[in-house]
Structure 1
Amino acid sequence: MAGCSNDFQLTQTPVKSTLRVPVGHIILSGRWRNTDLSSGLQGSVNILYEDSLGLVDFHPASHIGVVYASEADLVSQGALRRKLAKLRKVNKVKVIVLAEKTPSSTQYFQSLQKFVMLELGFVLLAVPGQAEAAGLLAQIVHTENHQDVNPFCKKRKASNLDQCLLTTIQSIPKLGEVKAKQLLEKFESIQAIRGASLEELSTVVGRATATHIRSFFDSPLKS
């Protein structure tokens, strides 16, 4: 089966408590059995299935929960937004949203991007499909495991998450990698960047870029 049904009950427990992801493993929600994504992970990482992950699709590490937004989810965003909003209230894991950006869903991507970034402060990464998502998840697993094994890296536990956050910040129009890094070093989160004044942003990236950033965050959200 190539796809995966992302139907869920908003009354279920949002996040499985006391979850521990073993080294070299990724935990997938049971609904992802026999999908292109699970097939893409085979041979790269060890897969465990769990039928009670709640609203999270994958756990590449104990402190990271990943939600996959399919092309259909992007087109009709109501249920997806409610799901993500509930995860935001729980606030037990760092959430990454992998959004399936295709020719059919591109026009809906920006509205989801603003909701995820502005309202929730989550990381949002675009993927063409499940195969590419599998590669990204495997990369996160390998990076997090390397940090666990190497004692000199323990204080840098969130480095892979920071890279995902950097990629998300770079999606702001006319913002390059260098200035995105400067923003992340200064403000440390999307929510803090969103709350910064034009003057505060200008001291980091200059007036012109700061104006573009404020324009992005100040523009109204679309459902």
Structure 2
Amino acid sequence: MERSLPDGTGPIYVPLGHIVACERWRGSQLAQEMQGKIKLAFEEGLTPVDFYLSNRSCILYVTEADLVAGKGYRKRLVQIRNSSHLQGIVLVEKTQMSEQYFPAAQKFTVLDLGMVLLPVCSQKEAASLIIQLVHEQAKEPSKNPFLRKKRAQLSEPSLLQTVQQIPGVGKVKAPLLLQKFPSIQHLSNASMQELEHVVGQAAAQRIHTFFTQSSDSAPRAL
């Protein structure tokens, strides 16, 4: 599939069953884990994307070092979020060292930008996930595996933790909300009346205000 990079520089073609990686990943554990299991090619100038799949899909990888270093990775996420021709998923290394920085990254990625985030504990786990996505895409090219992964993540603890961070929710109300609204998108689009039926008027008002403000202030460019 041919497409342009987010900055408009030249097309890139990714056949089904293949993945194109940014040159900086050559020789990394992540690339080594994928070698021989899928068809992997490297190209210069793929920034801000780390890996391109077919079917308008791409992967941004936030390393443990990226999280600890600060907010520099956010610019890359916003660039993909603002791209009208790409479906992006964000893999984030959640380790003992980076765990304290993970909630902020999760809130920014899922709540502020509305992107799919999947935590991984290592590059080996990330490679396994990417290989699975490539194989699924090759089997069903008309479907986007990122959307299936987003649905599959609904029962993941990471999503529950994200919802718990919304003002007025907490550990008690979060599971109730996810039973009624099985995704961040559903929850953000819920009316005041729908929210009140689940969590009551006071909490519903805080949740509704949070998403309204997030929508109005979500960054569209850096």
TM-score tier, shorter chain, comes to 0.7 to 0.9
> CA 1:20/1:71 → structure 2, altered by over 3 Å: closer, same or farther?
same
> Greater shift after overlay, 15-24 or 50-59?
15-24
**Deviation digits for residues 108-160 of structure 1, max 9, x if unmatched?**
10011011111111111100111100000000001111002xxxxx3xx1254
Q: Which residue does the alignment assign to 1:190?
A: 184
Task: Check the 8 A contact 2:6/2:83 in 1, yes or no.
Answer: no
> CA 1:140/1:181 → structure 2, altered by over 3 Å: closer, same or farther?
farther
SS for the counterpart of 1:90 is coil
Q: Which residue does the alignment assign to 2:194?
A: 200
Alignment of 1:25-40 (within 5 A): 25-40=18-33
Give the RMSD, CA atoms, in angstroms: 3.3
Task: Check the 8 A contact 1:15/1:92 in 2, yes or no.
Answer: no
SS for the counterpart of 2:82 is helix
Q: Can you give the 5+ residue segments of structure 2 that lack an aligned partner in the other structure? A: 165-170, 215-222
**Structure 2 length-normalised TM:** 0.73
Question: Is residue 2:149 matched to residue 1:163?
Answer: yes
TM-fit CA distance, 1:75: 1.6
TM-fit CA distance, 1:19: 3.3
Which of 55, 63, 77 aligns to 1:84? It is: 77
TM-fit CA distance, 1:164: 2.9
**Deviation digits for residues 86-112 of structure 1, max 9, x if unmatched?**
222223211111000011111110011
TM-fit CA distance, 1:16: 5.9
SS for the counterpart of 2:36 is coil
SS for the counterpart of 1:78 is coil
Which of 116, 122, 125 aligns to 2:118? It is: 125
Alignment of 1:86-165 (within 5 A): 86-148=79-141, 154=142, 157-165=143-151
> CA 1:61/1:13 → structure 2, altered by over 3 Å: closer, same or farther?
closer
Question: Is residue 2:61 matched to residue 1:68?
Answer: yes
Q: C-alpha separation between the residues in 2 aligned to 1:121 and 1:101?
A: 19
Question: Is residue 2:42 matched to residue 1:49?
Answer: yes
Q: Can you give the 5+ residue segments of structure 1 that lack an aligned partner in the other structure? A: 1-11, 149-153
> CA 1:122/1:23 → structure 2, altered by over 3 Å: closer, same or farther?
same
Q: C-alpha separation between the residues in 2 aligned to 1:136 and 1:217?
A: 35
**Deviation digits for residues 180-218 of structure 1, max 9, x if unmatched?**
58634xxxx634532423533466xx438xx59x65993
> What amino acid maps onto 1:72 in structure 2?
A
Alignment of 1:204-223 (within 5 A): 206-207=198-199, 218=210
Q: C-alpha separation between the residues in 1 aligned to 2:62 and 2:45?
A: 19
How many residues are matched?
195
> What amino acid maps onto 2:35 in structure 1?
Q
Identity %: 33
